[in-house]
Amino acid sequence: MLLSIWTTLLVAVSGIQIPFTLDTGDTDYVKPHYSLVDEALHPIDLSQYADEIVLRARKTPELLRFLRNENFTIWANNAVESTIDFQLPALAASHVLLRFALSDARVIIKDLAQAVFELYPEEYSGKQFGEYSAESAQSFEDYAALLFETLSKKEAVAAATDMFFKLYRSLDTINMWLDMLAQTYPEIMLLENIGQTFEDRPLRLVHISVPSPDYPEEKKRTVVVTGGVHAREWISVSTVLYNIYEMLNHYENPDLVDELARLNFLFIPTLNPDGYEYTWSTDRLWRKNRQQVSEDEQHPCKGIDIDHSFDFHWTESSDSICGEDYAGSKPFEAYELRMWNDYLNKTNINHTIWGYVDLHSYSQEILYPYAYSCDQSPRDEENLIELAYGINKAIRLTSGKFYTVLPACIDRDSDLLPDMGSGSALDYMYHHRSYWAYQLKLRDTGAHGFLLPDKYIQAVGEEISAGLKYFCRFILDNE
C-alpha cells in the first residue's frame, strides 16, 4: 500500500516514472504494517526510518563521493558486480538517479521502517528497552532452570542453547547464557572482563582451551574471533556465540579432540557493547561505538568507527565527526581498542596468536589483507588466498552459500577513497599480531542486508563454524 503512495508521490513530484524495478527480498513480512500499530507499541522510534529505502546502483567515483559528502548511509559495496547499496529518502531517489544516470538501479529494501520493525521480538512491544531486556533474560533463566531440574547438565545446556539461538539477544541474555556455559564447562571455558566501555559496560572475552598434558598453554596456537565491531551487524554477534558453543560441544569428539587440544580460542562476541545496546534501545542501524568525541558536551554526534581506529596506517577520516566512518582524532582513541590492545600487550597470548577472524555483515565475502591499500601485497598472499578458498569451500559444502574471496582494499574502495581503508582490525592484527587474518562478511547479499531475520541465525552459525574448523586445521598443518 505504502509503496503505491510513494510511487504516486514520486511521479507527482518529479514528473517521471521510477526508473527501477521493485523486486525486493523484503516481502515476507509477518507483522502488521507499523503505521497501523499504535506508536506506544513500537519497540523504538520507527519514524526515524519512515519513507527511507535502500537502493542498489552501479558504482562510480562521483556517486561514492556524493553519498559520502551528503552523509547518505552506505550499506555495502559489491566489488565483483561494481554496485553500491545505499539508504536514502524515497523522495530523493529520482533526483539521485537522474543526476548520476543510474538507469539500472533497483530498490533492495522498499520499506525500511517496516523491515526494522520486523526484526524486534514481539515481547519488546510497548516496553522500555531496559524492561524488555531484563524480562527477556529472566524468562531465559527460568526456562534454563527448569531444564537443569530434569536433564543432565550438558543436555540442559544444549536445550537452552537451542532456545537461545531462536532470536537475536540483548546483552543481558547473552551474558546470562555465557555465564551458564562457563559454569557448565569450568575446566575449558573462562570468562574475563578486560575493562569498562565509555558507557560503563564490561568488555568480555571468552577463553576456550582444552587442557592437555601434551600441549601446555604456551605451546598452543591461539585463534582470535571477534564480532559486533559494527553495532548493527547483529548476525556477527550471534555467529561468534554459535561458534563458542560449537567448540564446547565438540571438544570430546574423537575427530577433533587432538586439534582442539592444540588450540587456544579467544572469542569477543561484542567488541562494541555500547553500540550493540544502542541498536536495541534507540537506532537499529547505528554502526559506531558511543563515546563522546567532542569537548562540547552539547555536541550532538557521538561515536568512533572502531574499524577505523586501529593503529595501522591510521589516517584522519575525511568523514565528519557525525559521519559513519569517523576514525577519531588519533589511533586507538576508541575505548574498546585501548582495552584490547593493552590486554594483548600484557598477556602471553600475544606471542601465540596464529589466526584472527573478524566477523561482519553483509555481502558474503572473505576478505584478506590489506585493507588500507591495494599497492601493498601481504607477505604470503598465495597462502592467504589458498586458505580463503578453503574456507569458501567449507561454507559451500555446508550450506550451498557462496562467499566471494577478495582483498579487503577492493571491498573498502581504498583506491578511490584512501582513508576508507585506514585503521582496520584486519590490517592491524595481520601486521602486528597474527600470522593469518581475515574479515568475513556474513549473509546475506542484500535482500535483508543488516536486517537479516533471526531465522537465519543457526544456518549462518553452522556455515561459519565449518569455515572456522577448516581455518583451524589449516593453520595447525602449516608451519
Positions in the binding site for Zn ion (CB under 5 A) = 230, 233, 360
Virtual CA dihedral for 37, 39, 45, 46, nearest 10 degrees?
Answer: 30
CB of 29 to Zn ion, least distance (A): 25
For Zn ion, which is the closer residue by CB, 234 or 471? 234
For Zn ion, which is the closer residue by CB, 233 or 365? 233
CB of 337 to Zn ion, least distance (A): 15
CB of 287 to Zn ion, least distance (A): 7
CB of 319 to Zn ion, least distance (A): 15
CB of 441 to Zn ion, least distance (A): 7
For Zn ion, which is the closer residue by CB, 90 or 429? 429
For Zn ion, which is the closer residue by CB, 230 or 284? 230
For Zn ion, which is the closer residue by CB, 260 or 468? 468
For Zn ion, which is the closer residue by CB, 230 or 308? 230
For Zn ion, which is the closer residue by CB, 188 or 440? 440
For Zn ion, which is the closer residue by CB, 114 or 361? 361
Burial classification of residue 119, based on how many CB atoms lie within 10 Å of its CB (0-12 exposed, 13-18 middle, 19 or more buried):
buried
**Residue 408 near residue 417 (C-beta atoms within 8 A):** no
CB of 305 to Zn ion, least distance (A): 9
CB of 310 to Zn ion, least distance (A): 13
Q: Which three cell numbers stand for residue 460?
A: 549462518
DSSP per-residue letters across 359-373: EEESS-EEEES-SS-
**Residue 386 near residue 405 (C-beta atoms within 8 A):** no
CB of 325 to Zn ion, least distance (A): 11
Give the span between the Cα atoms of 230 and 288, in whole angstroms: 6
**Residue 406 near residue 80 (C-beta atoms within 8 A):** yes
CB of 236 to Zn ion, least distance (A): 7
Give the span between the Cα atoms of 169 and 421, in whole angstroms: 31
Pick from 112, 117, 72: nearest CA to 96: 72
For Zn ion, which is the closer residue by CB, 55 or 371? 371
Give the span between the Cα atoms of 268 and 208, in whole angstroms: 11
Q: How far is CA 214 from the centre of its chain?
A: 36
Each as own residue / partner, the long-range contacts of residues 319-322 (CB below 8 Å, 24 or more positions apart, any chain) are 319/68, 319/419, 320/71, 321/293, 321/294, 322/71
What residues contact residue 86 under an 8 Å CB cut-off, 6+ apart? 54, 55, 57, 67, 72, 73, 74, 75
